[in-house]
């Protein structure tokens, strides 16, 4: 599947499993499982799979992941609608407070006009909504060359540059 | 006043291009209305009853004469030769074409202005005291902090999709003229025991459907911690504010549901994590921004003038204007002049392009080129020499801008209401007109004295009716416009929400009811007691009795 990662369009071999119906479908390969499933089947998954990823939505506290953080190769944060801004905070916490350095992916209602902010909050990969043009979306990363405030990217408060 | 440097100008220019692209994609069908909506709102663009409405940001209400001329030019070129100053110190155009809004934004950018975050679920324009920088009761000028907050909050990546809109106000004086306690975050500049200046932090005030006077969650915050503390509050709100119900999404509901103690605890915990980060505000930056708000070159001998006194003795119309439309200035021999946008027959807060150009000219001539927009929808010329007042008054009079009614009954606050707003239940401009016609005797108005009437066309309370001494709320009763009255509200240091008078009134009755209320006040007042104080002393009963006596 085509996604945007580190500002490029790439083919990606993770499979997002929104809901696990049978254990088999997640017992091998690179799968992104729901947090609740991970919590129940953690020990099995750690044995059967080499790579690990979960997805959470705004209702889940990032703090609930802390003990497991080092196990994950990828964490996906879901935006049921692009207007639900909770995961902007969650991404920053994962990156800046809890030191998660692997892939942080935005999934769900992901559109071009939010990419700049998502990137600034620490997301480095984006599963764009199906009907949207990825080439077009890439332009969003260049929307602004000035950033007033620090976030999870490399920006410092702009006044320090003055 | 603040001047853009390269960074500020670049970001505003880039915003214009971004929005031009977004608008093109919307017009070509690439963006759905639902996708475009939050984008246009974050540029202040609403789709209203008749046409789009564009809200332009006037940071903390401060304008240069050059900016005012551009606002006039835009009114001429893109609108119907007038504009509307709002209760949040912003400006609104009621008739622009959607296609041309990017061009308007480009024109604004050419004079260091924008419409960024004037609507939408993000951090809005920070408001302040209209007499900031000149008020004799000022502890410290709040505008540098407003500007620092403006920059921090502009395109803040984490807080651009909040549960709901978010408004911050800062006051630096002992008298609160910025309605600080009815904001999502309110900041008072205060001094602590050691004589240092910092902020008292108030969270969770607001009007709308469920009005609250905000509680203080921190009595003293050091200046260096300003941004980290704001970020902590916003983060707690962004994570836990309700998103399931638009009417319960403001931070006031979160503060209320958690309770002030628990909310404060969460903020303080969050703050511990980030207070020692890059968010620490350098004193150097505070000083840099402060340097833009230095005093103009005042005439040290301005106080020697005697012409003002003699003009007062000779001309009673001038005296009447001077008694209402001037405010004290910290420098001897200077006054702040309030230009009334509440002439009878004009929608409160409206100004024509010619009036705006004129005000720009007199600001250059008499007020160091500065103009301030007030919460009461008037304009202030902040630095006028008293020796110039009589000439200035004559010039203002010729333009219909010298109505001597500041703080009086006809200096009403009024939202656009049914005439423009698609959410309205009832008209507010026609009620303002009705009241103006009823109270057309200036001597009587001056005798009634200080009173604040505030009017909203629906529960959203853009006209701040809850905090009017008399509040008027438009409601819809079986398809008819009705009006619910409240008494005893205030947005100042003694902030209070008004109490309901009783059943709503039909449209034709409103001015008569106000007249009866004023009668009760006049009959009961102690010497020069204000309406609000009489109400507080005698209570609701006498008013109620009189108004409903025939029912
Ligand atoms: S109070 Fe209601 S009617 Fe008036 S402007 Fe606000 S939303 Fe519109």
DSSP per position, B483-539: EEEEES-B-STT-BPPEE-SS-EEGGGHHHHHHHHHHHHHHH--TT--HHHHHHHH-
Q: Which residues of B touch A121 (CB under 8 A)?
A: 157-158
Enumerate residue ranges in chain A where pLDDT < 70: none
Alpha carbon B63 to chain centroid, angstroms: 14
Q: What is the pLDDT of residues B299-341, one digit of tens each?
A: 999 999 999 999 999 999 999 999 999 999 999 999 999 999 9
Q: What is the spatial distance between Cα B1 and Cα B12, in angstroms, rounded to a whole number?
A: 18
| Ligand 1: nearest atom to the Cα of B456 | 1
Q: What is the pLDDT of residues B156-213, one digit of tens each?
A: 999 999 999 999 999 999 999 999 999 999 999 999 999 999 999 999 999 988 999 9
Q: What is the spatial distance between Cα B531 and Cα B517, in angstroms, rounded to a whole number?
A: 9
Which member of B5, B18, B159 has the closest CB to residue A162?
A: B5
- B539: Cβ contacts below 8 Å, ≥ 6 apart: none
Q: What is the pLDDT of residues A53-64, one digit of tens each?
A: 999 998 999 999
The CA B272 to ligand 1 mean position distance, Å, reads 39
CATH top-level class of B413-547: alpha beta
Residue B548: C-alpha distances to residues A105, B437, B503 (Å): 64, 23, 9
Q: Token pair of B433, please?
A: 């007109």
What domains are there in chain A, each with its CATH number?
2-161 (3.20.20.70)
pLDDT of residue B51: 75
Q: What is the pLDDT of residues B2-37, one digit of tens each?
A: 999 999 999 999 999 999 999 999 999 999 999 999
Contact indicator for B482, B474 with CB cutoff of 8 Å: yes
Q: Which residues of A touch B159 (CB under 8 A)?
A: 85, 88
pLDDT of residue B50: 66
Question: B294 versus B388: which is more confidently predicted?
Answer: B388
Tell me which residue of A111, A20, A54 sits closest to B31, measured CA to CA.
A111
Q: What is the pLDDT of residues B39-74, one digit of tens each?
A: 999 999 998 666 789 999 999 999 999 999 999 999
Q: What is the spatial distance between Cα A111 and Cα B31, in angstroms, rounded to a whole number?
A: 10
Which member of B15, B35, B285 has the closest CB to residue A159?
A: B285
Contact indicator for B202, B175 with CB cutoff of 8 Å: no
pLDDT of residue B551: 62
User: Reduced to 3 states, what is the DSSP secondary structure of residue A75?
Assistant: strand
Mean pLDDT to the nearest integer, B483-510:
96
Contact indicator for B436, B344 with CB cutoff of 8 Å: yes
Contact indicator for A78, A49 with CB cutoff of 8 Å: no
Spell out the SS3 assignment of B27-41. Answer: HCCCCCHHHHHHHHH
Q: Token pair of B174, please?
A: 């002992």
User: Reduced to 3 states, what is the DSSP secondary structure of residue B101?
Assistant: helix
pLDDT of residue B549: 87
Sequence spans of domains, chain B: 6-109, 134-290, 302-398, 413-547
Please name the residue whose Cα sits nearest to atom 2 of ligand 1.
Answer: B458
Query: B59: Cβ below 6 Å to ligand 1?
Result: no
Contact (CB<8Å) A157/B235: no
CA torsion angle A12 A18 A22 A25 (round to 10): 0
The CA A47 to ligand 1 mean position distance, Å, reads 60
pLDDT of residue B49: 66
**Among A77, A146, A152, which would you mutate to test the B interface (most chain B Cβ atoms within 10 Å of its Cβ)?**
A146
Residue B150: C-alpha distances to residues A27, B58, B59, B170 (Å): 50, 11, 8, 12
User: Reduced to 3 states, what is the DSSP secondary structure of residue A125?
Assistant: strand
Q: Token pair of B507, please?
A: 């449209």
Contact indicator for A16, A25 with CB cutoff of 8 Å: no
Q: What is the pLDDT of residues B113-160, one digit of tens each?
A: 999 999 999 999 999 999 999 999 999 999 999 999 999 999 999 999
Contact indicator for B134, B91 with CB cutoff of 8 Å: no
User: Reduced to 3 states, what is the DSSP secondary structure of residue B394?
Assistant: helix
Tell me which residue of A85, A90, A125, A79 sits closest to A104, measured CA to CA.
A125
Q: What is the spatial distance between Cα B369 and Cα B316, in angstroms, rounded to a whole number?
A: 29
Which member of A113, A121, A146 has the closest CB to residue B11?
A: A146
Q: Is the predicted pLDDT of residue B377 greater than 80, yes or no?
A: yes
Q: Is the predicted pLDDT of residue B347 greater than 90, yes or no?
A: no
Helices B226-240 and B143-153 meet at what angle, rounded to 10? Answer: 50
Q: What is the pLDDT of residues B423-475, one digit of tens each?
A: 999 999 999 999 999 999 989 999 999 999 999 999 999 999 999 999 999 99
Q: Which residues of A touch B270 (CB under 8 A)?
A: none
Contact (CB<8Å) B7/A82: no
User: Edge-to-edge, what's the strand order for the sheet holding B197-203?
Assistant: B127-128, B168-171, B185-191, B197-203, B216-222
Contact indicator for B242, A85 with CB cutoff of 8 Å: no
Query: B421: Cβ below 6 Å to ligand 1?
Result: yes
**What Rg do the C-alpha atoms of chain B give, in angstroms?**
23
Q: What is the spatial distance between Cα B479 and Cα B482, in angstroms, rounded to a whole number?
A: 9
**CATH number assigned to the domain with residue range B6-109, chosen from the 4 options 3.90.480.20, 3.40.50.360, 3.30.470.20, 2.30.30.90:** 3.90.480.20
Q: What is the spatial distance between Cα A103 and Cα A100, in angstroms, rounded to a whole number?
A: 8
**Among B9, B20, B25, B157, which would you mutate to test the A interface (most chain A Cβ atoms within 10 Å of its Cβ)?**
B157
Contact indicator for B411, B376 with CB cutoff of 8 Å: yes
Contact (CB<8Å) A97/B288: no
Q: Is the predicted pLDDT of residue B344 greater than 90, yes or no?
A: no
Q: Which residues of B touch A118 (CB under 8 A)?
A: 157
Query: B414: Cβ below 6 Å to ligand 1?
Result: no
Please name the residue whose Cα sits nearest to atom 6 of ligand 1.
Answer: B462
pLDDT of residue B37: 92
Spell out the SS3 assignment of B173-237. Answer: ECCCCCCHHHCCEEEEEEECCCCCEEEEEEECCECCCCCECCCEEEEEEEHHHHHHHHHHHHHHH
DSSP output for B17-75: HHHHHHHHHHHTTSS-HHHHHHHHHTTTEEE-SSSEEEEEB-GGGEEEHHHHHHHHHHH
Contact (CB<8Å) B279/A150: yes
**CATH number assigned to the domain with residue range B134-290, chosen from the 4 options 3.50.50.60, 3.40.1670.10, 3.30.413.10, 3.40.50.620:** 3.30.413.10
Percentage of chain B exceeding pLDDT 90: 93
Tell me which residue of B295, B3, B288 sits closest to B145, measured CA to CA.
B288
First to last CA, chain B: 56
CB pairs under 8 A between A and B: 96
- B112: Cβ contacts below 8 Å, ≥ 6 apart: B3, B4, B8, B9, B12, B67
In CATH terms, are B6-109 and B413-547 the same topology?
no
Give the phi and the psi of residue B480 in degrees, each rounded to 5: -100, 150
Ligand 1 pocket test, candidate residues B53, B90, B416, most atoms within 8 A of CB: B416
CATH code reported for the domain at B302-398: 3.90.480.20
Contact indicator for A116, A140 with CB cutoff of 8 Å: yes
Burial of residue A132 (CB within 10 Å: 0-12, 13-18, 19+) is middle
Q: What is the spatial distance between Cα B54 and Cα A42, in angstroms, rounded to a whole number?
A: 53
Q: What is the spatial distance between Cα B6 and Cα B541, in angstroms, rounded to a whole number?
A: 61
Contact (CB<8Å) B278/A157: yes
Q: What is the spatial distance between Cα B248 and Cα B212, in angstroms, rounded to a whole number?
A: 13
């Amino acid at each position: 599947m085509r996604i945007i990662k580190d500002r490029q369009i790439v083919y990606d071999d993770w499979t997002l499993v929104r809901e696990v119906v049978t254990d088999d479908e997640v017992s091998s390969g690179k799968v992104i499982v729901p947090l609740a499933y991970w919590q129940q089947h953690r020990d099995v998954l750690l044995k059967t799979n080499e790579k690990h990823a979960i997805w959470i939505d705004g209702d889940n506290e990032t703090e609930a992941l802390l003990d497991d953080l080092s196990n994950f190769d990828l964490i996906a944060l879901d935006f049921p609608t692009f207007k639900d801004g909770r995961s902007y905070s969650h991404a920053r916490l994962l990156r800046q407070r809890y030191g998660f350095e692997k892939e942080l992916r935005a999934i769900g209602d992901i559109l071009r006009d939010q990419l700049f902010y998502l990137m600034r909050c620490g997301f480095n990969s984006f599963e764009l909504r199906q009907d949207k043009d990825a080439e077009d979306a890439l332009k969003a990363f260049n929307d602004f060359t000035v950033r007033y405030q620090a976030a999870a990217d490399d920006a410092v408060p702009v006044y320090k540059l003055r | 006043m603040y001047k853009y440097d390269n960074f500020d100008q670049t970001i505003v220019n880039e915003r214009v291009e971004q929005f031009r692209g977004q608008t093109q994609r919307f017009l070509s069908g690439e963006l759905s209305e639902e996708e475009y909506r939050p984008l246009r709102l974050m540029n202040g663009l609403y789709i209203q009853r008749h046409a789009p409405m564009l809200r332009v940001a006037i940071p903390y209400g401060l304008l240069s004469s050059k900016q005012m001329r551009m606002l006039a030019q835009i009114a001429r070129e893109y609108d119907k030769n007038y504009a509307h100053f709002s209760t949040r110190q912003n400006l609104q155009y009621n008739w622009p074409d959607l296609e041309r809004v990017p061009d308007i934004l480009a024109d604004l950018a050419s004079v260091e202005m924008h419409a960024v975050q004037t609507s939408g679920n993000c951090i809005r324009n920070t408001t302040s005291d209209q007499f900031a920088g000149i008020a004799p009761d000022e502890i410290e000028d709040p505008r540098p902090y407003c500007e620092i907050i403006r920059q921090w909050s502009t395109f803040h990546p984490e807080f651009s999709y909040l549960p709901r809109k978010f408004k911050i106000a800062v006051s630096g004086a002992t008298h609160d003229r910025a309605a600080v306690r009815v904001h999502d975050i309110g900041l008072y500049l205060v001094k602590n025991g050691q004589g240092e200046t910092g902020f008292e932090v108030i969270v969770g005030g607001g009007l709308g459907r469920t009005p609250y006077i905000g509680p203080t969650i921190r009595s003293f915050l050091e200046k260096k911690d300003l941004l980290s503390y704001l970020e902590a509050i916003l983060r707690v709100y962004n994570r836990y504010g309700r998103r399931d119900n638009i009417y319960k999404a403001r931070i006031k509901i979160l503060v209320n549901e958690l309770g002030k103690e628990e909310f404060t605890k969460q903020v303080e915990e969050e703050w511990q994590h980030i207070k020692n980060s890059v968010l620490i505000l350098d004193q150097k930056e505070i000083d840099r921004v402060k340097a833009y708000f230095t005093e103009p070159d005042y005439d040290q001998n301005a106080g020697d003038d005697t012409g003002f006194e003699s003009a007062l003795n000779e001309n009673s119309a001038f005296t009447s204007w001077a008694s209402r439309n001037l405010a004290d200035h910290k420098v001897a021999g200077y006054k702040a002049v309030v230009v009334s946008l509440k002439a009878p027959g004009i929608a409160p807060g409206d100004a024509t392009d010619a009036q705006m150009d004129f005000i720009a000219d007199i600001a250059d001539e008499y007020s160091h080129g500065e103009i301030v927009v007030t919460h009461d929808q008037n304009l202030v010329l902040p630095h006028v020499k008293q020796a110039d007042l009589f000439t200035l008054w004559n010039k203002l009079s010729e333009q219909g801008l010298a109505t001597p009614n500041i703080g009086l009954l006809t200096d009403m606050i009024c939202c656009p209401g049914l005439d423009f707003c698609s959410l309205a239940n009832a008209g507010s401009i026609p009620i303002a007109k009705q009241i103006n016609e009823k109270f057309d005797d200036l001597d009587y108005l001056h005798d009634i004295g200080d009173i604040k009437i505030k009017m909203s066309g629906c529960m959203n309370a853009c006209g701040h009716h809850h905090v009017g001494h008399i509040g008027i709320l438009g409601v819809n009763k079986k398809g008819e416009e009705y009006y619910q009255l409240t008494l005893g509200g205030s947005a100042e240091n003694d902030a209070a929400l008004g109490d309901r008078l009783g059943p709503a009134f039909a449209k034709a009755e409103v001015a008569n009811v106000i007249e009866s209320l004023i009668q009760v006040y006049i009959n009961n007042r102690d010497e020069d007691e204000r309406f609000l104080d009489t109400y507080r002393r005698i209570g609701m009963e006498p008013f109620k009795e009189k108004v409903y006596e025939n029912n």
